Structure formats: structure tokens, C-alpha cells
Amino acid sequence: MAGGQGRVLELAVLGSLHETPLHGYELRKRLNALLGMFRAFSYGSLYPCLRSLLAQGLIAEEQPAPATMVGGRSKIVYKLTAEGKERLQELLTQAGPAAWEDESFGVHFAFFRHTEAEVRLRILEGRRSRLEERLDAVRTALARTRERLDSYTLELQRHGLESVEREVRWLNELIATERRASEGPERDTTSTDE
């Protein structure tokens, strides 16, 4: 399919353009400054994504004052369309595995300020469950292992477990903060559906 970039880049681009119109190069810089610790987007996926979003009418080329155009160079500045804003809201509303897997969680989190409190909470909890599943899986596999492991393998396991445990603790704090914040303003404790 020509341009169904489908996943995380779409949200990242739409979310960035929601702040201000940007061109590809600058967009990538911002994205990598924002998420550089977790992932790095490349042009090989960014430009096809932009083309796809353009074809879908979710973004549009902005034509600024002609004075800004230097020489014959075209600096293609993209901005969000009304449809794009709708689509962004739609993406921000979805709380599912696509939001809390490794590759996508960071991007969703980065745009939490545009996300409803309830969705935020569900994504954080989903992420936590995901990590706990992983901890369980590795721990049981480790316990089931008969052979003695060498010190490097052990050290790798230890470091991995510790890192994931740390992230779970971080999520716990965030979840607690979210709960406190939502219990204050609206004392609605009965609507804890699902």
C-alpha cells in the first residue's frame, strides 16, 4: 500500500504539526530532540509518511510570503488540516496495545497534554502490565533454567530486570499522581467502570 505508514510516526508528525507548521528537516530534528533517548526517526520513513498524510488530506503544504522562498528552492512547510486535527484527536483517544508497546509508548506519552485523563491512566496502566508480563516471563524462564549461567549472562539478566523494575516504579508514581489529580477536581469515585 502506497504510504500507509500506519503506526507511530503518524501520531508523532500530527502531534508536532499541531504545535506549529514545520518542514521535514526541522520536523525530524524536533522529533529526535524530543524522543532521542528512546528512538530515532529517519528520513526513510519520515518523507513517505509525510507524502501519505498529504495524500490523505491530513496535512497541507503551507504557502508563505514569497519573500521567504529563497532562489528556486522550495522549503515545503506542512501544516495540519481540520481533518488532521480530527485524526490526531482520534489517535490520542485510543488506549490499546498500540499505545503502550515499546516503540509507541514514548510518542504517546510525549503528547499526553492533549490526551484525556482517563486515557492517560489507561495507557500508563497498560504499559505497566506489559512490563510486568515481561518480568514474569523472564523470571520464570530464569527459574526454570537448569544449566548454570556464566557471569556475563547473569549480569545482563540482572541489569535488564533492574531497568524494567525501575520503569515499573516510575509508572507507579505517574499513575498515583494521575489518580490524585483526577480525584481532587472531581470527587467522582463511583465511575470506575471497567
Partner DNA sequence: TGGGGATGTATCGGCTCGATACATCGACGC
Partner DNA sequence: GCGTCGATGTATCGAGCCGATACATCCCCA
Binder of residue 65, out of DNA, its own copies, none (CB less than 5 to 8 A by kind): none
Q: Which of 98, 164, 168, 175 binds its own copies (CB under 8 A)?
A: 164
Strand, helix or coil for residue 79: strand
Q: Which stretch binds its own copies (CB under 8 A): 30-38, 50-58, 72-80, 86-94?
A: 30-38
Site string for its own copies, 115-134 (x = CB under 8 A): -------------------x
Helix axes 117-144, 102-110, angle to 10 degrees: 150
C-alpha cell at 170: 516510575
> 134 is written with which cell numbers?
515481561
Residues written for the chain: 194
For the sheet containing 77-80, what is the strand order?
22-23, 77-80, 59-62
CB of 55 to its own copies, least distance (A): 28
Asked if residue 23 lies in contact with residue 78, where contact means CB atoms within 8 angstroms, the answer is yes
Q: What is the distance between the alpha carbons of residues 7 and 49, in angstroms, rounded to a whole number?
A: 10
Tell me if 82 contacts DNA by CB under 7 A. Answer: no
Cell of 185: 477536581
Please, what is the minimum distance in Å from the beta carbon of residue 56 to its own copies?
27
Our finding on whether 39 is near DNA (CB under 7 A) is yes
Can you tell me which of 54, 98, 117, 138 binds its own copies, judged by CB under 8 A? Answer: 138
End-to-end CA, the chain: 36
Stretch that binds its own copies, among 59-67, 70-78, 83-91, 164-172 (CB under 8 A): 164-172
Nearest-angstrom CA–CA distance, 188 and 38 = 36
The answer to whether residue 94 forms part of the interface with DNA (CB under 7 A) is no
CB atoms closer than 10 angstroms to residue 169? 11
Residue 101 lies near DNA (rule: CB under 7 A): yes
**By the criterion CB under 8 A, which residues form the site for its own copies?**
29, 32-38, 106, 109-113, 134, 137-138, 141-142, 145, 150-153, 155-157, 159-161, 163-164, 166-167, 170, 174
Q: Which residues lie near DNA (CB under 7 A)?
A: 1, 3-9, 23-26, 39-51, 70-77, 97, 101, 103
